[in-house]
Each structure stands twice: as structure tokens, then as C-alpha cells.
Structure 1
Amino acid sequence: MENFEKELAEVQRRLDKIKQLQKQEEEFKQQSEIRFNANLAALKKYYPDVYRQVVDYTPKPGFSLLVSESGVGNFVPKDLSVPVYSQIDPIAQVQEQVRQNVDKPLFGRAALYKKGASSADKRIHIQYMNRLSTKIADLTAESKEPLIQQLPQHFPSFLSFGIGLGYHLPMLLAEHVFDYIFLCEPDFELFYASLFCTDWGALFEIAEKNNSSMFMLIGVSYQDFFQKIIELTAAVGAFSIINSFCYQHYPSEQINQSIANFFRNFYQVQLGFGFYNDATTGLAHAVRNSRNHAHFFIKNKALKPHKGIPAFVVGNGPSLDESIELIREYQDKVIIFAAGTALQSLMNAGIKPDFHVIVERTLSVYQVLTNTTTDDMLSDMNLLSVEVVYPDTLNHYKWAGLGLKGPEASTVFMQMLHYAKTRKLLTALPFAGPLVSNTAATYACELGFEEVYLFGVDNGYPMDKSKSHSSLSIYSNEKYAGRYKPNPHAIYPLEGNLDGSVLATDFMAISKVQLDNLFLSHKEVTAYKVGSGAKLRGVTPLAIDDVIISSRCKDKKWVVERIKSDFFHKSEVSEQDEKLLAFKEFDNLVAYLLEIGNRQIHSRKDAADVLKAQSRVVFSYKDSVSAHLFHVVKGTLLYFHCPLITLLYTYENDEQTLAWFKESFAIWMEFLQAIRSDFPENWYNRCESKLWVPPAAEPAKSQ
């Protein structure tokens, strides 16, 4: 009898539990539907693009949320057989996860600058950057100050790898303030499920109240994740990600690969800022080139004088040797773009390209050109370049066509000026850097070639580093080998085009990504990468023996002349036009930056707020009528602000940190004073200096 009563009590307990669960499920269903609709309204207000994705999304058949024993939602993602959280109490589980991450945080931060080498280069940017790097190194190199061990109440950036159902976000944002918040969730269905579980509207309001910038990367694969980060940091500034609290919310292969890609490629965030003297000489060169009979590129999709004719884009990588006979065979049936020193390699092989492509604005690169070519070689050659190219370069060629490099001060200035005069837009070349092969490939696509072959565009050295360039190049010539050495530094492995791998420098790796983006964005172009080198997305790998070209080119000379006349037009900047350089507005901008910099600083948050205020003032010019001023200041601002942010949130001691910060920040303020008078006086000066290499960009350091 006693056993029967126990069994009966157990049955009753189970029935009560089932009733309780049914009640919880019904309550959750009602609440989750209300929450979902409220979240839709919040997304529509704050993130209309995400809102449209959600509205257009159709969940998979059988989509449903689980209700845990504690009454909150849970979910089983695709490709998994278990839910994201414990079915007992997801909130308690996440609270413990948050506590562990706050107590022992993982910080992804750029390394502080090393001591700057003394330089005879008198450019303002170089002099002040050397002073900054030396100052930071002197202050911190031998320091025994302990590093930050726990997540402070205020921290520059928060990067959440995986959102799950979002339960960790209210907990973190209730206790911590971040200037920039990056929320990354590759599984769109999981984010969709979170709309039933988390009050996203409340999170958006917290971010708005704290003056935080929140970015949502939803449904982005790990292959595209880092590129999205690059695009976001380009829009708001690299300081937004340079010192981040990194949080992995749940384990998954996609999340793990995204994290690995983030830290492996972090160096890219620290490159390609441009800088003050780059911007001013770019403006000077663009104006000078406009007055030197240059023709500017204007895209016209309707014009197809080269229809049915392939384009050969030739770089000077080691794989060019494999292809030289094939290029020679087809040279009369295709249009050949020679990138940089590939010109000399092709000419050494008896092949005359139709266009020579060069890009650099520096005097030193111009000197390489004049030292490795002859007037006879160039005087009958067509040049394709960009508006910032060293002005004397144009004098050596029969004809010169210039595209707008972008993003550059000179690009937006020329676009604004041309539009004011003609109501037509001068086309900026997309993905045209950082290397000359990027510019050549961009020209081929933007000119409307539908079939593009890449030769010697390798973006990497063989794994044994046995060769860096074609054996036909100037780097193999005894006369120049000692004077113009190629960069041997290559530490980044990239997947090979046909097999194996290649080793890339940082700029080669970025060049490869830019080529990926170029061809992925030009779906109408059928592109082939021929031979060895790095594999490209959106491009078909092709062995030499598999190249079969059917060309309808009957009069190549006529086609080249039509390309020049159809796509390039003169656009000259007069002295009267120079008033649009807005020197008075520049003075107002710098004056305001100095005013902000003189605000009282009593805490790290105060210092961070000053940096954020300065950066937002500069970035507010990005889409203004004086957008060129944004580019004049932006690059050096990033080179200063990024290490200052790292310095501000690396060491435990508040007093010592603020003292170091103020000493370093003072150099930035002096720089602003210097350019206030320099820009209106010296903007028209040509570049007379060598190519500047920024302070060493290291992988993100985690703690």
C-alpha cells in the first residue's frame, strides 16, 4: 500500500510538471509573439536592412522554439542535435558564462608602436609619427605596470562571436559601456529565433543612450566575415575595432573559423589608412595632371568597341615565366594590360603591351620607372594610371588616361568639381589597390571586358621563396638587382591557384582580397587565373595547357584607339576652381579638433570620449561638400588614435595610464597645429620623398 501511494504521488508530480510545462509553453508562446512583433518594429526603426531580411525570411519547416524548465526559450540550431543552452535554466547558465568572461576577459588589441627610427624625411606626418612611436616606446617598453585583468566598466569595443538567443547581451550592457559593439551571428535562423526570446528594442535603446555604435553582422559566413569587418571599420574608423573585448557565446565550426580569420587577418585593419602628406600630394598631383593633357576615365556600360576580345592582365610574379609563350602567341588577338614592372618583362620577351599601368605618387617610384625604361620604350606607349600618379610620369608616354583611385582626397575633390561643371560623375575605380595589378585588373573590368585572363598576378611567392618575380624582370638584371630589391618579407600562407600554397606579404594578402572583391562584384566578367600563384574567389583556376582563346580581334590598333576615345575625357582644374579646396573650412575643422582636445580629462572614459568626439567630427565630413578634408585628416588621425586607444586600455593603473596618454596625446595636438598652416601654404607641392612604410602592423594580441 505504501509503495502504491509513492507511485501515485510520483505520477501526480509528473502530471503537475507536465501541466506546469504546458502552462509555461502557452505563456511563452503569447509573450514571444508580442516580443517578436515589438522587435520587428525596433528593427524597422534602427536597422531597416536587417528588418527587410527578417520580413523576407521563411523559416525551415518545423521551425519551433523549446521552452526550458525555467520558462525561457531554447533552440536547436541546424546541423546540431542539441539545443544551444541547458534545458534546466539557460539564464543561470549564461550568467555564469558572462561572469567568467568579465573576470578573465579575452582582449584583442593592436600592439603598441615600437621606437621610431630617425628619418631625414621632413614630411609632417613622418616627423610626428616618429615622435609618437618613440614616445610610446620610451614610456612603456621597460614598464613593469600590470595589465588590465578584468573587464572595466567602460571599454572601447565589444565583439560578440555568436549571438545565440541573445541572453548575454542585456547582462553585459547593463554593467558595461562600449563605444562600438559588433554583433556577429552567421546562422540567420538562430538570430531569427532570438527575436522571440530577447528584447532587442531595449538593447538598441541602451546603445543609443550610451552613445554607442552597434553593428549587426547577421548571416555572414566565416569566409566573408573579416571583409565585412574591414568595410565597417573603413566607414567608422579602425579605432572602432583596434582594442576589443572578444566574447564567444557558443561553440560552432562557423564561429571558430570566424575567430581564427579575425586574429589571422587583423593586421589588415592597421594598414592602408593613407596619411596627411599622402592626401595633400595626391591633391597636388591630380590638379597638375589635369593641367597636363590627361584624360579622365568615365565609365560607359553601353560602349563595347572591344566586344568578343579578351583582356590579358599581366603582373610580374614568378608564374609569368610559365605563360610568356602563350602571351606571345595571342598578343595580336587580345588587349594586354602590363602592370608595373611587368612592362619591362614583356618588352624583354619581345611583347609590346597595349597599356602600361602604374599607380604610385612617390618620387622614388617615378625614378624606378625612368631608371629601368628608355624614352623609346615609352614614347609610343599608352599609360593607364590614377589621378595621384607623379606628374612628370605623363610626359614620357604617347597618351595618358587616369582613373580616380579612391578613397582619396583627390578623388572626391575631382568628382565634386567635375559634377559641378558637367552634372556628370567621374568614375572611381573600385578595388584598385593596394598593388598595381589590382589597378590593371580593375581597368579591365570597368572598361567592360567580358573575358579576363590574369598572368603573373600571383600575390605570393613559392613556399621556398625561391623566386619573387619573373626571371625576365628588372629584379633579375645585374644592373638593377642591387638597387631595387623586392620585398622578401612574406609570412601569410594563401591557398594556391592550382595546388599547394604561396607565401604572401601583408600587402599581397590584401591585394588578393581586393581581387576577390573585384571579380565577385563583376558577375558579368568571366575571369581566369592562369598558372601558379594565389587562388582567387570568383576566378576560375586554369593551367597553361588548358587555355583556349577564341578572339574576334581584326584590327587591334583601332580597338585601342576606340577605348581611349570612348572612355576617357579631359577635365582640367583651373586656378579659379582652387577656391573649392575650402581652406577656411579646413581651418574651422582643425580649430574644433583642438578645442575638443583641450577638454578636461580626469578618467580613461574622459580620454576615450575626447578621441571619439574628434574622430566623429572628422568622419562627419565624409559625405559633405568638403569631403576631401575628411581624407586630408583621416589617415594620420587613425595612425595616432589607434595606438592611443590601445595605450588607454592596456595597463591596470589609472593614474599612470592617464599620465602616459596625455604625454602622447600632446604630440597629436601639436600635429594639428602644424597642419593648420601647412595645408593652405603647401598643398600644391609635388611628392619629393620615398615611399613611406607605416609602423609595423602586428597580429592582434590577445590577453
Structure 2
Amino acid sequence: MTFLEVLKSQNKEKIEQEISQRFIRNMEYFRRTSPDLFDVLKSEPIDYNLLFDEKGLNIINLKTGELSYPSNADGHQMVNVCEELSQSPIANPKWKIYTNHIYLDKMDTSKLPITGKVCNEFIDLLHKHGGIKEYYLSRSFLPSTNIFGLLGGMFLEFIRERGVFFHSLLIFEENIDMFRVSCYFVDYEKLFENVSPKSCYLFVKDLIDKFFVRSFFSQKKITNNFLRLELKLYSSPKLDASKQVIDEEYASNSRGWGSFEDEIIGVQNTLKNISFDANAYPVLNLPQRVNAPICVVGNGASLDGLLPFIKENQDKMIIFSCGTALKPLKAYGINPDFQIEIERIDYLKDVLKEAPLGDTPLLCANMTNPEVLSLGKESYIFMRGGSSSGYLYNSKSVIEFSAPFVGNAGFALACQLGSEVLLCGLDCGYIEGLGKHASHSYYGQEGFVLPADASRVRGNFDKVVYSDSIFLLSIQNITQAIKTFNPKMALNLGEGAYIEGARATRPSEFDLVKIKKKKLVSQIKSYFTSKTRMAFNDVRTDFYIQEISDFRDELKNMFQTNVKNKRELFALIDEVNSICAKKSFSSPFVGIMFEGSLAHMSQSLMIASLHLDRDDVEAFYTDAKEVIKEALDRMMFKYRLSIPLRQK
């Protein structure tokens, strides 16, 4: 008999024996795998307990006597309700499906000639193999699944017992008594076996840890990024806060992937910007902190209200203007000490001319368009982490957490160059009633426009603030920069999003002292060496050709794996993502160059497969892998063409 059949049998002795044995097995399992949880589960229930009387099974609130499930003349309805909850989760209205605002649309191949061509060909293949408008998954396979509140978890066991395999599973149960009740029903050891390796996360009692949630999404960055199934059985402050963490991490996971095409532009620009002759631009090398606060200025809407503070205190702090913040600063009579730029785009030079840049020194990421560096009367270079070209020649000083915005780069630099960091206009979101950027900036006058995927986040002060996926990624990286670089103090003066680790502070709440600014700015400049060869550990002329070729072959071999169904395809995509992530860690110049485009290709492959009206994807995948293998060869060819002939 199945567990559901036992529970419906009305044989009280048999039911009692079954659930008691399950509880004993679960306690033994947690004793082996999670001793702390085991110890807590041994305690006597305080809030909730399992009720098993003549009317059947239910959960009782020990303080109020209230029941968690309905009860009527036919008895307690826990089994019936959970049976209904377990039916076809993908099509069950009690469950919610998220798709991260990603659609299977054709890409612009003028900007992404290799990546876009592959993704577009998958759409053509989908039509060839009889694709449908809806998503289709077999009854035995569920995508990334999040459950908030188990209410005994009986429904989860019904799903598991049907042989359903979860690609990844995250469970949050805020009450230890409620989780203890679930141990009478859910066979946790078997549940973990029915989830992909290292993909079942269980949070009991405590608030969800952002680090573990980030790991949950990043370990399966692509397959956890699109189709997400969610069940939230009730609301509470703790559950709602946990759900917000999940939603934010889910959203930020979809951004910052990059592409091979962008990475190649970055490599080409870097090779032009960094030279080893007497006229080379100075490169950041082993920076130290100066004893002065650095004010990092972004072009968020809240900058308008902070311009008086910046002007009044410009002799008491070093000012880093980030991107298009330059124009409103100059218009207000403020002369930044450095203008930070990171963009590869060619029209950036026109933006700087319009500001105008004037005598302000440029501090540019290595991949910045060379025409931009030529505008500066003084131009300096830092190696920007997160981009393939930032690791060329194995720099001694790579500035990590410098994405996705120029403000992130400015902040990461300030954390390593100043004793304290002040954030002005790094709003990381949309302030209700205001435009996205400061007034009188390059973008002109703007109204309040909220993107479709924006959600409300905690404001730094009392304004209503929303962030979308890319702003959430920006917040994430600023927070990580604070934790990693540990400046003495980080103060957030803006009206935008709250940033963990940066103290929300009004300008009126502190005073700055006069500094020897000219001397300190010169000290910062001294950390950039014109003897550029000194800034790198491995100035090589082979340009990783053999390593890139070997990695290309490894990826091609990976795609030779036989794939028959969607579960196997999801597993393969995870393996490809893992290989790319490992390569990006061990050899970032090589790994990051491929990682973004492989992510986009894999995601398009996954989404296309979901639109097939059957679980058998073997014929579709056989065609698709040839498209990917051809693209990898084209990438290799493109890279060879990008290397200067004199250095081949």
C-alpha cells in the first residue's frame, strides 16, 4: 500500500504504526546528518503537535486549541487537503510558477553574432521538432521548487512517493514544532535522494541565510534561473521576509552573465590600453589606504539633495565621480578628484566631452574604450574583476565586485583606497515619485517609471524604493565589497535602497575635518605605476591559445553526452555551468570569456526543450549540440583574429 492508501484506510493501528516508524527513521537520519536539529527535535512541543483522534489526523495549536486543517462531520480534512495539494503542482492553482521575465525571443545578431545565432537556431529547431506554446514537464520531474511552511508536509510525501524527482528543492519551516510534525509524514532521507546532488536546502526555525540561498541559485545558475515552482501555505513576518530573500536572490541571479562578444571587445580594448613602453598609461599596483574619506558619487535621483553637502565638504574628502554623475557635479561647481569609467561603448567619449571632463583625471577599467582614455589629461587604469580581460597577464591588483555598474567599480576602489567611504547617489533602485537619475544629467529630465520586474525593497531612509534584478545585483556586490575589503566605515547618505554594511546617515549627523587633499590625491596616484610590467605576475605572449583550445574541446566533449529526456538535459546544463565556473575560478581569463555565452546558450536550450510536448528530447538535442559545437569553433576562430599579429 502507498502511504496515501494507508492514511485513507481508517485503520488507526496501521496508521499509527506507519507514522511512528517514519518518525523514528527521520530522527535516526537527522542524528547522523544534523545533530543540532536532532537535539532540538527531541524537546517537548510548545506551540503545535500532531493530533490523531477518532476524526483522523490534524495539527493542533497547543496554546489556542485551533486546528491547522478544516474539520467537519466527515472528519479532519488534512489528508484530503494534502492530497489535493500534491496533484500536478505545475498545473495546480495552489502553486505559483515564476519565469524570471525571460522569453524565448530571437536575439539581435548584429550585437551578438555568435551567441545570438545559436539561441536563434534553437528557436528554429523547436519549430522543426514540433514545439508548443506551453511548457511541458513529465509528471515525474519538477523544476526548482520552493516551499514556505510545510504545515506537516504530508503533501510533499505524496509527491515524493509518486516517484517525482525535484531538480532542486528549498524548504523553509519557521516553527520547530511544525517541522517535528512533518517528521511523522515525510521520509526525509528518501526525499533528499529524490533531489539533484547538493540541491536540497532545509531551513528550520531561523531566517534564511542569504549566503546559502545565493549558493542555492548559483550552483545551478541556469536551471534555477528560469522556471521556479513555489508553494506558500500561509503568511507570517518570518515567512514573508524569507520569501523576499528568495525573490531577490532569484532576480539577481539572472543578471551579470556577460557574453563572449563583450569579453572579446574587452580583450581588444585592454590590449590597446595596456602597453609596456615609456608612454604607457599607469596601472594600479598594490594600493594602500590613504587617511581620508572617499565620497563615491553615483547619478541616482537622490544626488540632487546631496550636491550641497558634497560642495561644502569637497576640501574634506576625495571625490570619485562615477559615470554620468560627472555632469551634475560639474554643473553645481564641484570638481571631482577622479572620474571613474568602465564602459566598452564608443559613445562614452561624447558623454565626457559634454560634461565636460576638463582637467579631471580619468580612472578607467582596463576594458574601457581607448578613445575615452585619450580624452584625459591624466588617465589611469585598474584591472576590473569579473571580466575576462581584467585577469590578463595575472594582475597583482584586480578590483573585484566592480559590476554591474560604474558605481560598483567606484565603490570597490574607494574601499581599498580610502579609510572611510561615503555613498552619495548610489541609489540602487527607483525612488517613488522621482526619475531614475539626477536632474540635469546626461539623461535629461525623467519621470518615475517602474520596470515590470521591480519589487519593493527596504529604503535607506523613509522613501519608498523599488529595485529590479540588475539593481539587486549591484546591492549584492556593494555589500560583498564591504565585507571583503572592510573599510573603517561606510556611510550611505542617499535616499535609495538600504545597503547592508553601510550605515544610513544624514549629512547633518556628522562633520568632516580638513585634509591635505592635494597630498592625498598624489598619494593615490602613486599607487599607479608607469612601469606596467611590474603590475603583472605573468606577462605572456602566447595569449592562452592552447588553454583556450583545450577548454573549447572539453566543452565540445561535454555536449557529446547522450541526453534522452528533460531531466537529463537539466543535469547536463548544470554540469556545463559547473565546468565553466571551475574554469573561471582556476583560470578566469579563459573561463569568463566563455562562461556568459555558454550560460545564454544553455538557458535558451533549456527553455526551448520545455516547449516540446513530450519528455523525449533526444532528437532535438542531437541537432542542438551540433549548433553549439559549431559556435565554440567560431569563438576560437574569433579569438585568434582578435590577438594582435605582432604578438602571435
Secondary structure (helix, strand or coil) at the match of 1:360 reads coil
* Structure 1 residue corresponding to 2:332, chosen from 349, 355, 366: 349
> In the aligned structure 1, how far is the partner of 2:284 from the partner of 2:330?
27
Within 5 A, what are the aligned runs for 1:145-544? 145=132, 147=134, 152-163=139-150, 167-176=154-163, 178=165, 180-185=167-172, 187=174, 189=176, 193=180, 200-207=188-195, 212-216=197-201, 218=203, 229-248=213-232, 252-256=236-240, 258-259=242-243, 262=246, 266-291=250-275, 292-296=280-284, 298=286, 304-306=289-291, 309-370=292-353, 372-373=355-356, 376-378=358-360, 381=361, 383-397=362-376, 400-412=379-391, 414=393, 417-418=394-395, 426-430=397-401, 432-450=402-420, 452-461=421-430, 463-465=432-434, 467-476=435-444, 490-491=451-452, 492=454, 494=456, 496-502=459-465, 506-519=469-482, 525-530=488-493, 532-543=495-506
Question: Alignment partner of 1:238: what SS?
Answer: coil
After superposition, give the CA deviation of every residue in 1:576-613 in whole Å (9 maximum; x if it has no partner).
6143x533333233234334434555444454454444
Shift in alpha-carbon separation, 1:334–1:205, aligned structure 2, 3 A? same
Work out whether residues 498 and 532 of structure 1, in 8 Å CA contact, stay in contact via their aligned partners in 2.
yes
Partner Cα distance (1:470, 1:443) in 2: 22
Identify if the C-alpha distance between structure 1 residues 524 and 446 changes in structure 2 by more than 3 Å, giving closer, same or farther.
closer
- Does residue 1:548 correspond to 2:538, yes or no? no
Task: State the SS of the aligned residue for 2:613.
Answer: coil
Q: Give the match for residue 594 of structure 2.
A: 633
Instruction: Give the aligned residue type for 2:144.
Output: S
- The secondary structure found in structure 1 opposite 2:321 is strand
Q: Distance in 2 between matches of 1:134 and 1:103?
A: 24
User: Could you say if the C-alpha distance between residues 67 and 529 of structure 1 is closer, same or farther in structure 2, counting changes exceeding 3 Å?
Assistant: closer
Partner in structure 2 of residue 12 of structure 1: none
Q: Match for 1:670: what amino acid?
A: E
Partners of 2:41 and 2:52 lie apart in 1 by: 28
Instruction: Specify the SS of the correspondent of 1:676.
Output: helix
Q: Percent of pairs identical after alignment?
A: 19
Q: Distance in 2 between matches of 1:438 and 1:396?
A: 23
Q: CA deviation at 1:357?
A: 1.4
Q: Which residue of 1 aligns with 2:115?
A: 125
Counterpart amino acid of residue 559 in structure 1: L
Matched, 1:561 2:522: yes
Matched, 1:97 2:67: no
Query: What's the CA shift string for 1:471-529, capped at 9, x where partnerless?
Result: 343444xxxx9xxx999774535455443425656534543444455457777654433
**C-alpha deviation, 1:338, in angstroms:** 1.0
- The TM-score, its normalising length taken from structure 2, stands at 0.77
Q: Is the 8 A contact 1:387 1:411 kept in 2?
A: yes
Shift of 1:646: 2.3
| 1:135 counterpart (84, 101, 124) | 124
CA shift, 1:103, in A, is 6.4
- Distance in 2 between the 1:437 and 1:263 partners? 24
Q: Describe how 1:597-616 pairs up with structure 2 within 5 A.
A: 597-616=559-578
- Distance change (3 Å), C-alpha of 1:523 and 1:83: farther
Q: Report how far residue 273 of structure 1 moved.
A: 0.6
Given that 1:490 and 1:503 are in contact with CA atoms closer than 8 Å, whether structure 2 keeps it comes out as: no
Distance between the aligned counterparts of 2:246 and 2:62, measured in 1?
A: 24
- TM superposition shift of 1:341: 2.0
The 1-side partners of 2:486 and 2:596 are apart by 32
In structure 1, C-alpha distance between the alignment counterparts of 2:579 and 2:554, rounded to whole Å: 8
Aligned pair count reads 617
Q: Is the 8 A contact 2:297 2:325 kept in 1?
A: yes
CA distance in 2, matches of 1:149, 1:648: 9
Cα drift, residue 150 of structure 1: 7.3
Deviates more, 1:669-678 or 1:165-174: 165-174
Q: Could you say what secondary structure the match of 2:638 adopts?
A: helix
Name the CA distance, whole Å, in 2 between partners of 1:220 and 1:413: 46
Measured in 1, the distance between the counterparts of 2:639 and 2:134 equals: 40
> What corresponds to 2:7 in structure 1?
none
Aligned partner of 2:27 among 31, 36, 46: 36
The Cα of 1:31 is off from its aligned counterpart by 8.3
Give yes or no for the alignment of 1:584 onto 2:546: yes
Structure 1 residue 641: deviation in Å? 1.5
Change (3 A) 1:238 1:559: same
Gaps of 5+ in 2: 1-12
Rounded to whole Å, the distance in 2 between the matches of 1:489 and 1:216 is: 33
**Are the counterparts in 2 of residues 222 and 258 from structure 1 also a CA contact under 8 Å?**
yes
Structure 1: 5+ residue runs without aligned partners?
1-19, 44-50, 419-424, 686-703
SS at match of 1:471: coil
- Note the alpha carbon deviations across 1:309-333, whole angstroms, 9 max, x for none: 3332212233323222221211111
Partners of 1:370 and 1:356 in 2: how far apart? 13
Question: Separation in 2 of the partners of 1:280 and 1:220?
Answer: 47
Shift of 1:67: 5.1
Q: Within 2, Cα distance between the matches of 1:121 and 1:335?
A: 38
Residue 236 to residue 604, structure 1, CA distance change in 2 (3 Å) = closer
Counterpart for residue 695 of structure 1: none
Whole-Å Cα distance in 2 between the matches of residues 356 and 591 of structure 1?
Answer: 42
Check 1:635–1:472 CA distance in 2 against 1; reply closer, same or farther (3 A cut).
Answer: same
Q: Deviations over 1:602-633 (max 9, x none)?
A: 44445445444444443442443x34332122
Q: 1:106 to 1:645 in 2, by over 3 A?
A: farther
Pair 40,118 (structure 1): closer, same or farther in 2 beyond 3 Å: same
SS of corresponding position for 2:52: coil
Query: Would the alpha carbon gap of residues 319 and 223 (structure 1) be closer, same or farther in structure 2, given more than 3 Å must change?
Result: farther
User: Whole-Å Cα distance in 1 between the matches of residues 216 and 321 of structure 2?
Assistant: 33
Contact 2:165 2:194 in 1 (8 A): no
More helix by share: 1
Partner of 2:632: 672
TM-score of the pair, normalised by structure 1: 0.72
Deviation at 1:155, TM superposition (A): 3.8
| Corresponding residue to 1:108 among 83, 95, 98 | 98
CA RMSD in angstroms comes to: 4.7
Indicate conservation of the 8 Å contact 1:164/1:190, yes or no. no
How has the CA–CA distance of structure 1 residues 401 and 224 changed in structure 2, closer, same or farther, with 3 Å as cutoff? farther
Residue by residue, what CA displacement relative to the aligned partner does 1:421-454 show, whole Å, maximum 9, x if unpaired? xxxx635423x3211122222222233523x332
Q: Aligned partners of 1:283 and 1:188: how far apart in 2?
A: 52
Question: Counterparts of 1:193 and 1:262 in 2: how far apart (Å)?
Answer: 24
Change (3 A) 1:219 1:204: closer
What amino acid does structure 1 have at the position aligned with 2:86? V
